[in-house]
Amino acid sequence: MNAPDASLFPPRRTPLDVAGWVRYFQQAEIPVLASTANALEDLRENEDAVDARMLADVISADPLMMLKLLAYTAGLQNSGRRQTDVETATEALVLIGITPFFRDFGPQPTIEQHLHDQPEALQGLRDVLQRAHRAGKFALSFAVHRFDHDAPVIHEAALLHDFAEMLLWLHAPHLALDIAYRQKTDPTLRSVAVQRALLGVPLAEIQHALMVTWRLPELLVRITDDRQESASQVRNVMLAIRLARHTAQSWTNPAVPDDVRDIAQLLNMGLGPTETLLREIDS
């Protein structure tokens, strides 16, 4: 990876504290994957035959679209239509209704359009999305193995665990590229340190503040809070994220054995059966 070329990015003032970043991202459009946008338009054409499950399958495959839906649904609290937390895409769609969903969510802007002239940033975002999908698959499998009745929310939490990083690639790509470049150049550089140097605050703090501001489900906020790592559901998500990061390129990363050991402990399994299970999940 080459150092980011500042001439490729138009000057734009970025914040240096949590409140500023929250305002910055609140004002920004959230595009989705082109495959999601196209699938939604296909369903729109046959709206009478669409049910909540069909729509949820499309939305749940795209962390950015899921984020938009959950934030929108949380806003319904102001209208008095929301009595309890809506924790999954299916629950959100049942609350909203199919016709109101298509009315309120028109044709979606796409990440491919948004970053069409910034291929490195587009690839960086795609890498984060791919990692989120793999983490979601691991987290769901761990939760099912543990007979956790909140398995769908745990899957969702893993998908959304790094949504602030996704937003950074979309709306401050020069900073996202600079962070990636510095960490690639110096593998010992801690994420929190470089984020604090370039953004003023760690991404985790920005993300938590956004989740609270958007009134995302309390269970989702709790499960994605790495500070609560002693809780089994949080550990479920954290280990899924760790494994997805460490195996993004291959299973030869020296950190993988530690991941396998910790996951074996979580699942109450032996090391050999755990590694076999993990490779089956990933395949």
Domain range list for the chain: 34-108, 114-282
* Tens digit of each residue's pLDDT (9 = 90 or more) over 193-246: 999 999 999 999 999 999 999 988 888 888 777 777 778 999 999 999 999 999
As a whole number of angstroms, the distance between CA 136 and CA 121 comes to 23
> Could you tell me what percentage of the chain is helix, strand and coil, using 3-state DSSP and rounding each to the nearest 5?
70, 0, 30
Cα distances (angstroms) measured from residue 187 to each of 182, 199, 244: 8, 19, 18
- What pTM did the predictor assign? 0.88
Given this model, what pLDDT does residue 1 score? 61
Distance, in Å, from the CA atom of 3 to the CA atom of 178, rounded to the nearest integer, reads 7
Average pLDDT of every residue of the chain? 90
Backbone angles phi, psi at 110, to 5 degrees: -115, 155
- Which of 34-38, 157-161, 185-189 is predicted with the least confidence, judged by mean pLDDT? 185-189
Instruction: For domain 114-282, give the CATH superfamily.
Output: Hypothetical protein af1432 (1.10.3210.10)
Please tell me the predicted confidence (pLDDT) of residue 220. Answer: 83
Q: Is the pLDDT of residue 282 over 80?
A: yes
Three-state DSSP state, 32: strand
**Rounded to the nearest 5 degrees, what angle is found at the Cα of 152, between the Cα atoms of 148 and 153?**
90
Sign of CA pseudo-dihedral 195, 242, 224, 134: positive
The single-letter code of the amino acid at 85 is D
Length of the chain, in residues: 283
